[in-house]
Chains A and B, each alone.
Chain A
Amino acid sequence: MSSASTKHQDASIEPLDDTEVLRLRADFPILERSINNSPLVYLDSGATSQKPTCVYEAEQHYYETFNAAVHRGAHSLSVEATDVFEQARTTVAGFIGAAENELVWTSNATEALNLITYSFANASAGMGGEVARRFALGPGDEIVVTELEHHANLIPWQELAFRTGATLKYIPVDEHGALRMDVAGEIIGAATRVLAFTHVSNVLGTITEVPKLVELARSVGALTVLDGCQSVPHLPVNVKALDVDFMAFSGHKMLGPTGIGGLYGRAELLDAMPPFLTGGSMITSVTMEKAEFLPSPMRFEAGTQRIAQTHGLATAVSYLQEVGMGRVAAWEEQLGARMISGLEQIPGVKILGPGRDSVRIGTAPFAVEGVHPHDVGQFLDARGIAVRVGHHCAQPLHRALGVNSSTRASTYIYNTTSDIDSLLNAVNDVRGYFGVGK
């Protein structure tokens, strides 16, 4: 793999290489672990990434140095903690091309997506006054998602439809898991109020055609919600360039701590939306009868926030920025291509998803003929190789592919070509072990 096949990357960007990755790996002590007497080969970053020492040291440093409640009290620690908290927002918002007041902290992407749907449900119930009317849904309105979605970008919309009487429609995938762009224009119509879709399939690793989908939504005046969970960690992402109205992402998949994620929303939309969680820190004035709410982002940040985690996430973002997201993406594309072509050559192994022409991140979903994914995963684990097995929180997509579950290997910044080769060698032995295909 000497030359990068830069299908989605700027060809002028120099990808990482094994030497540099080996240097980076020194920042991830967990990768030194031995699992079942073999060196750990971590290929489950699609589920959660490992964290460099600087990330959890940042959290520790926060507790040792600044810990206090933010946005309340006048004492020095509280002021410093607030600075740390808001500086983290500036860093992470900048990373995705958003303004500071357009990034709302959430626990994770799931909460970010639920924030939108619960806010819209509140608007549908008449909350938020005149300005919130644009988010109100009812019978006759349509919400459109895709068959690719992770359950987190499907079920909240199902629930919103149930609550409001709106209709949920979806853009289907073909038998290979490619989004049916040929019918997207028929499904997105005059009644469409929201189009929610994933940037990168968490199962297949395929990148969706965001500009085309955004254009279709815009042409009918629908709001766009992008699930950036699998794109923000792996690709350069700029919400303004993508021109989406909302984007959800998760910190723990991008070298950050668990318990922190974000919702990007265009400022004029966030400021007009009724709150989801209510309580302290999100109000201007409160009487025994009612409350007035702060503008975004604080209107959506009720209660004591995840301060140390925001600092940890900002540190992770700085780490990624230092390496360069273009280089990360180009490296993972190489690793992904090596995985896919290597797996394809193993007898009885089938890559799930569209053909090799499709644009993917470093993710390889595959099936081993005659061996259940759970057994494949167990066999790989015995050799220290961590992959994901199951339905990956995307049951409808698996159903469309005609399987109940699959095995997924997914890369990140710290994976080497030797990790990929360990996977390929092990997968090569799976069918023999289970006495299949002899």
Chain B
Amino acid sequence: MSELDQLYQQIILDHAKVRRGDGLVETAPGTCTGESMQHNPVCGDQIRLRVHMDGATIKDVSWEGDGCSISMASASVLTELAVGIEREEFLGILEEFRELMRSRGTKQGDEEILGDAAAFAGVSKFPARVKCAMLSWVAAEAALLAANS
């Protein structure tokens, strides 16, 4: 498989087309939500991501964004992984994902932990694209913090 094909795994292209969580969901007043807006000033990609909490559980994730297939697919995969799990569990997945992204192609993604996000392993070989993959994850981390405060 060429490096380009490793980057654009079919699973990523599919998520880029059919995006989970795309479209910000309004929440009733009083519900515990957190939101974060993130930009990648290098390429102009942006995302606004909202988490809706039920105690320690992430009840819902929704977002709106504009960006390349990597950033949009990443947000979609993140949504699929995060909804319904506890905040701490998600933060654990996030750390695993971040480590994978920083690996410069030396790590295989652990599918047990990362699910579809393991398909992003090829991105780590393209340092210029790591920010694209991380954009929504950084937004989710900040949104969780905002919901917690």
Taking the nearest CB of chain A, how far is it from the CB of B10, in angstroms?
Answer: 9
- Among B33-64, those with CB < 8 Å from A are 42-46
Residues of A within 8 A of B2 (CB): 382
- How many inter-chain residue pairs (CB < 8 Å) link A and B? 50
Complex interface: stretch among A3-11, A200-208, A221-229, A390-398 = A390-398
Q: B103 to chain A: closest CB distance in Å? A: 19
B112 contacts A by Cβ under 8 Å = no
Chain B residues near A435: list those with CB within 8 A: 13, 17
CA of A410 to CA of B129 in the docked complex: distance in angstroms? Answer: 22
Are B66 and A375 in touch, CB under 8 angstroms? no
Contact between chains at A378 and B126 (CB < 8 Å) = yes
Report the separation of the CA atoms of residues A391 and B45 in the bound assembly, to the nearest whole angstrom: 10
Taken residue by residue from 397 to 419, chain A's Cβ proximity to chain B (1 for < 8 Å, 0 otherwise) reads as: 01000001100000000000000
- The number of residues on chain A lying at the interface, defined by a beta carbon within 8 Å of a beta carbon of chain B, is 19
Stretch of B67-75, B85-93, B139-147 that contacts chain A: B67-75
The answer to whether B45 and A374 have CB atoms under 8 Å apart is yes
- Please give, as numbers and ranges, the residues of chain B lying within 8 Å of A143 by CB-CB distance: none
Known contacts A389-B43, A395-B44, A405-B44: does B69 contact A372 (CB below 8 Å)? yes
Q: How far is the CA of A371 from the CA of B132 in the complex (A)?
A: 15
Q: B8 near A434 (CB under 8 angstroms)? A: yes
B11 an interface residue at 8 Å Cβ cutoff?
A: no
CB contacts (< 8 Å) of B8 on chain A: these are: 375, 433-434
A36 at the interface (CB under 8 A from B): yes
CA distance A375 to B2 in the complex (A): 15
> Which partner residue on chain B sits nearest A435 by CB separation?
B13
Residue interface mask A10-39, B partner, CB < 8 A = 1: 000000000000000000000000001000
Chain A contacts with B in 421-438, Cβ cutoff 8 A:
433-435
Can you list 12 A-B pairs with a CB-CB distance of less than 8 A? A36-B3, A373-B43, A374-B45, A374-B67, A374-B132, A375-B70, A378-B4, A389-B43, A390-B42, A395-B44, A434-B13, A435-B17
